[in-house]
Amino acid sequence: MSSSAAEAPGVGPSPTWAPPAGRSSTVCVVGSGGREHALALVLGRTAEVIVTPGNPGITGSTPEGHTITSVAAPAEDIEADLFVIGPEALLVDGLADRLRAQGKLVFGPGAAGARLEGSKAFMKEMLAEAGVPTARFGVFGDPVAAKAYLHTLTGPWVVKTDGLAAGKGVLVTGSLAEAEADIDAKLSGDAFGEAGRHVVVEEGLVGPECSLLVLCDGERLAALAPAQDFKRRDDFDHGPNTGGMGAYSPVAFVDDRMVRRLVTEAVAPLVAALRARGIEYRGVLYAGLMLTSDGPKVLEFNVRFGDPETQVVLPRYDGDLAALLAEVASGALTTVPRFLPDAAVCVVLASEGYPESPRTGDVINGLGDAAAVDGVTVFHAGTAVAASGPEGAVVTAGGRVLGITALGDTVDDARRRAYRAASAIKWPGIHRRSDIALSATVEPTPDASGVRDAGAKEEISQ
Ligand code: AMP
Ligand code: GLY
């Protein structure tokens, strides 16, 4: 495994990553969702894994013989050779900085880099500074000015909270009146509290979307396999935006050439602009992209692995993930990530009322039957062990409860397996989309840019 003790601006000297004599390396994953479950399982191929706080599905042993344990302890109190931080809120809050200050090897940006996700206004400013193509935008704290700008744009219209909103602070609408009402609701503080005190108003773009996760060791970049996420709650892209209702990988219309173009045009200039500000970014940059007839444009950057994209990208990783993330963390990225030819599809099972007010506390049935479907992994997210009732019963404890990932020879094959497993799981009010990855199984048609349209993208309105 590679190591580097080189001094990096803004990060300080890096501890080394090397398997200790006589024992396996230990990786600590921070978080409790489906993304962290997937990280733990794939890291567990080559390392011992501790997850804090974890969830009821995470603990166990991997087929490779490593142990995954959950502990309810602050990351600062855990001994591990590498720390991988999942959720954006912890990164924005400076957890990576605090762990680095303790001399720990950390995958994830410090607070300065995490501001890219903590403030959409900052992210858009950085994109403009770096010359990265993105939707035209304005940032406003005053509703009159925000609405005046709105009227200079042709629809669809987009209104975003500046601060963190768990993927739920974005309105895309074909109705000017709805966009105006949303500006009022967000800026009044009623809809999102402090996170909505400023809004980003931007032009609506049209085209197929993809999520590209790019590892960055501060300077060098390495793209992971592209994925496509389904953000709307209901079939055929209806209903409110969510954290993501499903995903698949690979994506036929994002071939290797397109990946290189996206890294060159969208990610590399941003990293250079961050470095120019003295920000050494070590972690993953998640580019949310739209392939418009005017070329690829960035919708957003996130500073952590996507959820549920991670649940389809990492199971396809063909290598030692712990060593790869350690290279990134120590500023010594040399590995070129390789992926299995298999396709992966993840279908999210959500609670009734998600995303506004998810109902919780329902007993989940069928977990064993779902996991028994060939090629399937059941990733836990919003689950808990029941406080009363049958011993060991698992209950719903959040909006997105489970992610059912299946690997298959093709997207269609993986999709069938994922849905077969998903249909085994039951609780009152369970909700899932029925069209995850469906667009990837039909023959696409070329669009004006030469990029192949994923289809099934319906009129944008809420
Ligand atoms: P974001 O959190 O900024 O990625 O936005 C969530 C989702 O809203 C994206 O995945 C898109 O589906 C949609 N969206 C965001 N910005 C735009 C835009 N400028 N034009 C069209 N759709 C958008
Ligand atoms: N799946 C969208 C996100 O992780 O933000």
Query: Are 191 and 223 contained in the same domain?
Result: no
Residue 160 covered by a domain: yes
- Residue 339 structure tokens: 């992926």
Tell me what pLDDT residue 18 has.
67
Average pLDDT, the chain: 90
Provide the pLDDT confidence category of residue 11 given band limits of 50, 70 and 90.
low
Q: Which two tokens stand for residue 370?
A: 């779902």
Ligand 2 atom nearest to CA at 308: 1
Protein residue closest via CA to atom 13 of ligand 1: 172
Q: Please name which ligand lies nearest the alpha carbon of 237.
A: 1
Atom 5 in ligand 2: residue holding the nearest Cα: 306
**How do 221-223 and 209-217 pair as beta strands?**
antiparallel
User: Which tokens sit at 285?
Assistant: 């940059």
Q: Is residue 228 part of a domain?
A: yes
Pocket residue to mutate for ligand 2, from 307, 312, 314, 379, most atoms within 8 A of Cβ: 307
320 Cα–ligand 1 center, Å:
33
| CA nearest ligand 1 atom 15, residue | 299
Q: What is the DSSP string of 126-194?
A: HHHHHT--B--EEEESSHHHHHHHHTTSPSSEEEEESS--TT--EEEES-HHHHHHHHHHHHTTTTTGG
117 assigned to some structural domain: no
Residue located nearest, by CA, to atom 4 of ligand 2: 306
CATH number at residue 50: 3.40.50.20
Q: Are residues 301 and 153 in the same domain?
A: no
Cα–ligand 1 centroid distance for 244 (angstroms)? 12
| Nearest listed ligand to the Cα of residue 292 | 1
Q: What percent of the chain has pLDDT over 70?
A: 90
Residue 383 lies in a domain: yes
- Asked whether the bond before 63 is cis by omega within 30 degrees of 0, the reply is no
Does 50 map to a domain? yes
Residues 182, 298 within the same domain? no
> pTM for the full model?
0.91
- Do 293 and 440 reside in the same domain of the chain? yes
Which residue has 């990837």 as its token pair? Answer: 440
| In the predicted structure, residue 461 carries a pLDDT above the cut 70 | no
Q: Does 145 share its domain with 88?
A: no
SS3 label, residue 54: coil
223 and 303 fall within a common domain: yes
Of all ligands present, the nearest one to the C-alpha of 172 is 1
The whole-number average pLDDT for the span 363-379 is 97
**Whether 337 contacts 317, CB under 8 Å:** yes
In a domain, 358, yes or no: yes
pLDDT in tens, 387-412: 887 778 999 999 999 999 999 999 99
Residue 19: per-residue pLDDT: 62
Return the H-helix or E-strand segment holding 200. Answer: strand 199-203
Atom of ligand 2 nearest to the CA of 167: 5
Q: Give the ligand whose atoms come closest to the C-alpha of residue 86.
A: 2
Containing structural domain, residue 294: 209-456
Same domain, yes or no: 221 and 190: no
CA of 299 to the centre of ligand 1 (A): 6
Give the pLDDT band of residue 450 (cuts 50, 70, 90).
very low
Task: Give yes or no: residues 305 and 415 share one domain.
Answer: yes
CB-defined site of ligand 2, < 6 Å: 167, 229, 243-244, 302, 306-307, 309
Q: What is the CATH number of the domain that holds 290?
A: 3.30.470.20
Residue located nearest, by CA, to atom 1 of ligand 1: 300
6 lies in a domain? Answer: no
Atom of ligand 1 nearest to the CA of 206: 21
pLDDT at 458 over 90: no
Ligand 2 atom with minimal separation from the 35 CA: 4
Q: What is the mean pLDDT of residues 236-244?
A: 92
User: Region 257-276: what's the mean pLDDT?
Assistant: 98
Q: How far apart are the first and last CA of the chain?
A: 49
Q: pLDDT tens across 283-325, in order?
A: 999 999 999 999 999 999 999 999 999 999 999 999 999 999 9
75, 224: one domain: no
Kindly state whether residues 195 and 246 are assigned to the same domain: no
Atom in ligand 1 nearest the alpha carbon of residue 297: 19
- Last residue within a domain, chosen from 157, 179, 203: 203
> Which among 203, 237, 258 is the end of a domain?
203
Of the listed ligands, the closest to the CA of 174 is: 1
Q: Is the dihedral of CA 410, 416, 417, 422 positive or negative?
A: positive
Query: How confident is the model at residue 213, as a pLDDT?
Result: 98
Residue 450 lies in a domain: yes
Residues enclosing ligand 1, CB less than 6 A?
A: 135, 158, 160, 167, 170, 172, 202, 204-205, 209, 231, 241, 288, 299-300
CATH at residue 160: 3.30.1490.20
Q: pLDDT tens digits for 416-441?
A: 999 999 999 999 999 999 999 999 99
Cβ atoms of 27 and 50 within 8 Å: the answer is yes
Output b/e per residue, 344-382; b: 16+ Cβ within 10 A: bbbbbbbbbebbeebebebebebbeebeebebbbbbbbb
Domain match, 179 and 232 both: no
Same domain, 162 and 220: no
pLDDT of 2 strictly over 90: no
Highest mean pLDDT among 160-169, 193-202, 365-374, 387-396: 365-374
Residue 291, beta-bridge partner list = 296
- Give the H/E segment covering residue 400: strand 400-408
Tell me: the pLDDT tens digits for 112-150? Answer: 999 999 999 999 999 999 999 999 999 999 999 999 999
pLDDT of residue 13: 57
Q: How many structural domains are present in the chain?
A: 3
How many CB atoms are closer than 10 A to CB 243?
23
Q: How far is the CA of 65 from the centre of ligand 2 (A)?
A: 31
